[in-house]
Structure 1
Amino acid sequence: MRIARSGPAGQETPVVGDGAGRWFDAASTVADFDPATLAEPERLDLLAQALADGRLPELAVPTRFGPPLSGIGKIVCIGLNYRAHAAETGAAAPAEPILFLKTPDTVVGPNDEVLVPRRSVKTDYEVELAVVIGRTARYLDSEDDAAAVIAGYAISNDVSEREFQTERGGQWDKGKNCETFNPLGPWILTADEVADPQALSLRTWVNGQARQDGTTSDMIFGVNHLVWYLSQFMVLRPGDVINTGTPAGVAMGVNDFAYLRAGDVVELEIDGLGRQRQTLGQA
C-alpha cells in the first residue's frame, strides 16, 4: 500500500494508492499519517483491507503531494554508505556507520521548491532510500529483529551544501539543515511490499542530465544493520526516519558535474517508490 498526504502545504489530508495509479481518501479510517498511526499497525491493516475491499472513496490524482508523514520525530542520516560514493570522494569506506542528524523542519514535499542558501556555492543533491520506523526499537538483539520495526520506505533527497558541510569547521550539520533540504515522498510504500530493500535502483537527473544511477546493493551497511546499529545508541520511535546514504554521482564527487543553482531542475526516483521533481529557488 502507498500512503501519502495530498493538498496545499499545511492542509494535507491522508490518501492511499493502489499501485495502479489510483488514489483514495483515507480520512475515514485515519486522521493523518503520523507517528500515532504508525504505532498502531492494526489501523494500517484496516486501511489496507478497506482499500482491497473497495470501500474507500476514489479521488482524482493529487495535484500536490506533501511529505507523506507528519510529526516526524528525528531524521538520522548515514554518511558515505555506498562503496562507489566513498571512492568518488576519495574517502576510505568507514568501519562503522557515520551518523548525523537533520531536523524535521527541513522536510518538504517531493515536488516543492528547494532553496539554494544565501552565499551558497556548493549546493548538492543526494537521492536516498528513507526508512520509516513504525515501532519502538531500543537495543535490538540482532539485525534479524530490524524488519519488524520498519513501517515502510520512501525517497529522500538529502540536499547538502558542501562548503558549509566540510569547509566551515565543526560538524556536518550546518551543511545539512538549511531550509527545504529534505524533500520526502511522494509516498511511503509499506514494508510488506518491498521484497528486498537491498535490491532497489536509485537515479537522479539535473536539468535532464543523468547524474546518479546506483543500487542499494552497493550499501556498505544494509538497512537491517543500520536499524540494529542505531538502536544501540538511541531509541528509534514511530515516525523517525533514517536516510540511508547516497550512491555515486553527486557533484562533490564528479568534477564535470556543476553544483546546483537557482532555476535548476532536479529529478529523483527509486524503484517502486515514485519520483520527485524540484525546481531550485533562491533563499
Structure 2
Amino acid sequence: MKFHMNQERSKEKKSGWGSKESRLAYLFMTPLLLCLVAFMVVPMITGIQISFQNAKGDFVGLGNYHLVLGEPRFWNNVRLSLTYVVCNVLLSIVLGFLAANLITQKSKMVSMLRPLYLIPWIIPPVSSSILFRTLLDANTGPVTRLIKMITGKNVMILDQAKTALLAVIFHNFWRSFPFAMLFLAAGLTMISKDVYEAAIVDGASKVKQFFYITLPLVKNHLFIVILMITNWTLQDSESCYSLTKGGPGTATEMVAVRLFKDSFVYFEIHTGVVIGIVMMCISIIFAAIYYWVTKAKEMETYE
C-alpha cells in the first residue's frame, strides 16, 4: 500500500510545476513572453500614462478624454465607423454564403477559378487602395469614363461625400469577401449530405433547408467570421487613408483614420492615444462577447 502511494506521489512530482518538462516548456515560452511585454504591455502602459498628460508632460487627469469625447467630430467618426462595419459585415456574409455554396460544388471550372478568389485577400491594402484610386480617378479612371459614356456626366466619385463612402465600403468588402467565403465554405463541407437527403425526403424546401439545417450547423463558423471582419474593419486605417485620406472633408474619416491622422500626420499624440485607448476598449468588448458566447456553447455541448 505504501509502495503504491509513494509511486503516485512520484508521478505527481514528475507532472507538477517543478518537473523537468514544465521547466523546459516555460524556457521555450520565455522569448514569446518577453516580446509580448516589450511590444504590447510596455507601449500600452506608456500610452495610458500619456493620455493623462498634456503636450508639456503635465498631469491633466481626464482632460484629454473630455476634449475628445466632447467633440462632435469624434462622434461623427464613431457613426461612420459603425456604418462602415455594418455594411461590410452584411455584404461579406450574404455574398460570402452564396459564393461558398458555389465553390463547394464539384466542378472543373470552379476548381480552376478557386485561386482567383484569393487575390483580393492577398494584395496588400495600400496597393489595392492605389488600384481603386486609379480606377475611380475623376479624369483618367476607367470607371468614371464608363459612367460618362453611359450618362454623359462627369462623376467625381472620390470627391463627393456619399459616393466616397460607398467606394471605401466596397473596397473593404472586396478585401474581406474571400475570407468570409472560404471560412463559410469550410463549414458547409462539414455538413453531411445525408442530412439534406433526409430533409428532401421529408419534403423540406430549399429555404427550410437553409434556415433549419445549413444555418444552425455553420453558426460557429459564421460567428467567427462576423467577429474577425468586425475587428479588421474597425481597425482599418491604411486602406481608408490611402484611398480617400478621410475626405472629402471628414466624410470618410472613421475612428481608425482619425487615430492615424492625429498621431502621424498632425502629431497630436495625446489625442491619438486617447482615441487608441477607446478603440482598445471596443476591441476588448468584442473579445469578451466572443469568449462569453464560446463558453456558453461549450456548456451547451457538455449538457
- Bucket of the pairwise TM-score, normalised by the shorter protein: under 0.3
The structure showing larger relative contact order (alpha-carbon pairs under 8 Å, at least 6 residues apart) is 1
Q: Which of the two has higher C-alpha Rg?
A: 2
Superposition TM-score, scaled by structure 1 size:
0.22
Question: Which has more strand, going by share of residues?
Answer: 1
